Structure 1
Amino acid sequence: MAVPSRGRTSEILSSLPLHILLYVNMVYYIFYFLATLAMIIYKSQVFSYPDEFLAPDLAVLFLMAILEVPRLYLGFKGNLTEAEAPLGLSLGLTVGSVLLCVYLLLWQSYVLWADVLLNAVLLAAYGLESGLKVTAIAAFVS
C-alpha cells in the first residue's frame, strides 16, 4: 500500500546497480588483495625475484589498498546521499586505482596468468562502476 505524499514529490535518485556493484567490488577487492599478496610472496620464493623490485610491487599493492577505502566510502556515501561531490571524488580516486591496477598488470617483475585474470576482472569492474557513477552524477545534477 502506497503512502500518499502530502504535496511533496520526492524522487529517489540513488542508483541501486551502482550500490550493488560497489558492494561486490568491496568483496572482490579483499579477495584480489589477498590473492595478489600471496602471488607476490610466491613469486619471491619460487622465481629469482630481484630485491629492488619486490618493495615497489608491494608498495603499489598496499597503496592501492589504502586508496580503495576512501574510494568505496565516498562512492557509497555519494550514492546514498545523492551528492555529486563525494561521487565525483570517488570517480577521481577510481582513476588512481586504475593506474595502479595497470601497473600490477603490465609492469610488475613477473606477471602470471592469474595476475592477468585478477586485474582484468578488477579493471572491468572499475570501468562499469565509473560508467554508473557518471550516470548517477548526471541524475543528481538534473
Structure 2
Amino acid sequence: MNSCLFYEVLLYLNAFYFGMFGACEVGIALLKYAKFTYSGNAMLTEFLLLTFFCFLETGRIWLGRMGNFTERAIPVIFSTLLILPASAAVVYFLIWQAYILRLEYILCSVQLLLHATELVFAFLCIMPSSRKPVYD
C-alpha cells in the first residue's frame, strides 16, 4: 500500500474533523463567556489563538493535500513543519486555558492524535519523493 494514500486519507479526515473542532471551540468559548468570568484579557487571548489556529490548520491541510496530489515533497515538508505550531495551539487549548471543559479534553486529544498520525505518514510520504532517481 502507498503511504501517500494513507496521508491523503488522514488529511481528508482532518479537514472534516477540524471544521467540527473549530465550530465546537467557538461554541464552547461562547458558553464560557456567558457562564464564567475571565480575568484580564484571557478571553481575547483565547479567541485570537483560536483564530490563528484556524488559519494555520487550513493552510497546513491545503499545503499537505496540494503536495500530495502533485507528488512534490516541498509543500508536504512545509505542511509537516506547520504541525508543530498547530499542535502547540491544541496543547494550549488542552492544558493552559483559563477554563477547560471535559469535552475540550476529548476534542483536543483526538486532534493531537490526528496530528501525530499525520506526522508519521507525512515522513513516509516524503521519503520516496525526496530520493534522487537512479539512471542506468
Fold match (TM-score > 0.5): yes
What is the CA–CA distance in structure 2 between the aligned matches of 1:51 and 1:26, rounded to whole Å? 33
Deviation at 1:124, TM superposition (A): 0.1
Distance in 2, Cα, partners of 1:97 & 1:89: 12
Please tell me the residue identity of whatever aligns with 2:113. A
Q: Which residue of 2 aligns with 1:125?
A: 114
Q: Distance in 2 between matches of 1:38 and 1:32?
A: 10
* Deviation for aligned residue 1:52: 1.4
TM-superposed deviation, 1:39? 0.5
Q: Distance in 2 between matches of 1:39 and 1:50?
A: 18
**Which of 25, 30, 33 is the matching residue for 1:36?**
25
TM-aligned CA deviation for residue 28 of structure 1: 0.4
Aligned partner letter, 2:99: Y
TM-score by length of 1: 0.87
Counterpart of 1:69 (choices 58, 75, 90) is: 58
Matched, 1:137 2:130: no
Equivalent in 58, 70, 84 of residue 95 of structure 1: 84
Report the alpha carbon displacement of residue 81 of structure 1 after superposing the two structures with TM: 1.2
Shift of 1:69: 1.6
Offset, 1:84: 0.9
How many percent of aligned residue pairs carry the same amino acid?
27
SS of 2:82's equivalent in the other structure is helix
- The runs of 4+ residues in structure 1 deviating greater than 3 Å are none
* Residue 104 (str. 1) matches residue 99 (str. 2): no
Q: CA deviation at 1:111?
A: 0.6
Contact 1:14 1:79 in 2 (8 A): no
CA distance in 2, matches of 1:18, 1:108: 31
Give TM-score, length-normalised by structure 2. 0.91
Structure 2 unaligned regions, length at least 5 = 132-136
- Once the two structures are superposed, the pairs formed by residues 21-32 of structure 1 within 5 Å of their partners are 21-32=10-21
Q: CA deviation at 1:50?
A: 2.7
**RMSD over equivalenced CA pairs, Å:** 1.2
Q: Figure out how many residues of one structure are paired with residues of the other and give that number.
A: 130
Aligned to 1:19: 8
Indicate the structure (1 or 2) with the bigger Cα radius of gyration.
Answer: 1
